[in-house]
Structure 1
Amino acid sequence: MGRMPPAKRPASPGPFTPLDFQLVLLRRMADHNPDLVEDARHALGVSVAQMREANRRWQAMRHAPRSRGAVSRYRSILGEAESVTPRRIGDLSCEAFLWPVPLWPDLRFEVLVAPGGVAWNEWLVRAPGAAGPGMRTLEDLTPWSCTVDEAARAFAPARPLEGTAPTRWGLAFTAPDGAGVRRDCVAEFAWGLLQRVTVAGP
């Protein structure tokens, strides 16, 4: 009787790439804006299965027993940061690491790192020097049009709200509609990018 051939080992997945990371960002946004995510997915030339697999691998990396720190993880995926800037937020001194995101050329992925290497925040912000959106009314608050800090500044005072899931944020504020009537609103963000706005009342 002949010897059985050795069992083939499953092929190990390749490195987690900047493309995979963009799919992770899109995966969280698909709950709110599936059409926009679908267009972006086609533009990137990837399948739904690839998006699902990228998200699975991302979650596995984040929850691994010996998971590396946030900055090391992002460096391994996105390369060296485009810039590292000291930042002070209230009493907290930290460093802001910025990486470009090809899918949104005018945005950067920002990781705020406190002393000791702990990541305090991870989200999309406007790129330094890039022109932000001119926002004056509710009609200007379209999906993917602005970041958390841009909406908060445009419609100050805004009150931060606890997100419904990790990587989600909310803002409550008052903004005029097209007729100039001020309305109470709640804006929802994923990875720091606006997803939808809910307006109270009729």
Structure 2
Amino acid sequence: MSRPGSAPFGPLELTLVLLRRMADHQPGLVEDALRELGVGKAEMRGANRVWQARARARGARPAVQRYRSALGPPEEVVARRIGDLNCEALRWRLPLWPDLRFEVVTGPGGQVWNEWLVRAPGAPGPDLRSMTDLRPWCCTIDEVARAFAPATPMEGTAPTRWQLAFTAPGTEGSEERPRHIAEFTWGLLQRLDP
């Protein structure tokens, strides 16, 4: 990778940025993904450096413009109402996850409120019925929240990370209902903590 701003930065490089953060929890899956993409760890670290430098540069463009610059026009733009506010969800396809889309939710004025992976419209999601169905990278935060409702969203340990607390299925009515915490990076399940 060359100096920030000088090299092209597209969907592959943004995918590498997502993988860089996921490597903290799932280094083996990330190594497999890098092989599938035909790149190495150095390219992943380089893409992350470029992205961070662009985000922190003096006079940096707003986040939604950085995403548009890297990914081109969104595949889909969906109007969304959150409370009293009209928002937009912009979605792009990334090379590694054909059944997912990278979604950026913007509020009034184009400010980015959320960035994560979501299931592509029409793509079948996983059948989540038990704890054994919750494997890393198999599902999104939305899918786990629906399958194991009621779930409680929690703040994650770093930016782009979220946690979801829920009760194990099949334990309703028992005195000790085991609670679990699922950890997500960029909206994709990484691990479970009992």
> TM-score under structure 2 normalisation?
0.92
Structure 2 unaligned runs (5+)?
Answer: none
| 1:42 counterpart = 2:38 | no
The residue that corresponds to 2:128 in the other structure is 135
How far 1:65 moved relative to its partner? Answer: 1.6
2:108 partner SS: coil
Q: How many correspondences in the alignment? A: 188
Identical counterparts, % of pairs: 65
Residues 175, 80 of structure 1: CA spacing in aligned structure 2 closer, same or farther, 3 A cutoff?
Answer: same
CA contact (8 A) 2:12 2:94 kept: no
1:108-119 residue pairs with structure 2 within 5 A? 108-119=101-112
The residue that corresponds to 1:183 in the other structure is 178
| 1:120 counterpart = 2:134 | no
Distance, in Å, in 2 between the alignment partners of 1:140 and 1:92 is 35
How far 1:64 moved relative to its partner? Answer: 1.2
CA contact (8 A) 1:113 1:121 kept: yes
How far 1:75 moved relative to its partner? Answer: 1.3
How far 1:92 moved relative to its partner? Answer: 2.8
Distance, in Å, in 1 between the alignment partners of 2:121 and 2:106 is 18
1:116 partner SS: helix
Q: 1:165 aligns with which of 158, 163, 180?
A: 158
- Could you give the per-residue CA deviations for residues 81-119 of structure 1, whole angstroms, max 9, x where no partner exists? 001110012233200100011200000000111111100
1:153 partner SS: helix
Distance, in Å, in 2 between the alignment partners of 1:11 and 1:120 is 25
1:27 partner SS: helix
1:91-110 residue pairs with structure 2 within 5 A? 91-110=84-103
> TM-score under structure 1 normalisation?
0.88
CA contact (8 A) 2:4 2:50 kept: no
Distance, in Å, in 2 between the alignment partners of 1:113 and 1:94 is 6
- Could you give the per-residue CA deviations for residues 160-199 of structure 1, whole angstroms, max 9, x where no partner exists? 111100000000001237xxx8531000000000000111
The residue that corresponds to 2:46 in the other structure is 53
Runs of 4+ displaced beyond 3 Å:
10-13
| 1:196 counterpart = 2:167 | no
- Could you give the per-residue CA deviations for residues 114-151 of structure 1, whole angstroms, max 9, x where no partner exists? 11110011110000111111101100000001111111
The residue that corresponds to 2:59 in the other structure is 66
| Matched AA of 1:117 | G
2:110 partner SS: coil
CA RMSD of aligned residues (A): 1.8
Distance, in Å, in 1 between the alignment partners of 2:14 and 2:121 is 21
How far 1:12 moved relative to its partner? Answer: 7.6
| Matched AA of 1:195 | Q
Distance, in Å, in 2 between the alignment partners of 1:51 and 1:13 is 17
Structure with greater Cα Rg: 1
Distance, in Å, in 1 between the alignment partners of 2:87 and 2:5 is 37
| Matched AA of 1:151 | V
Structure 1 unaligned runs (5+)?
Answer: 1-9
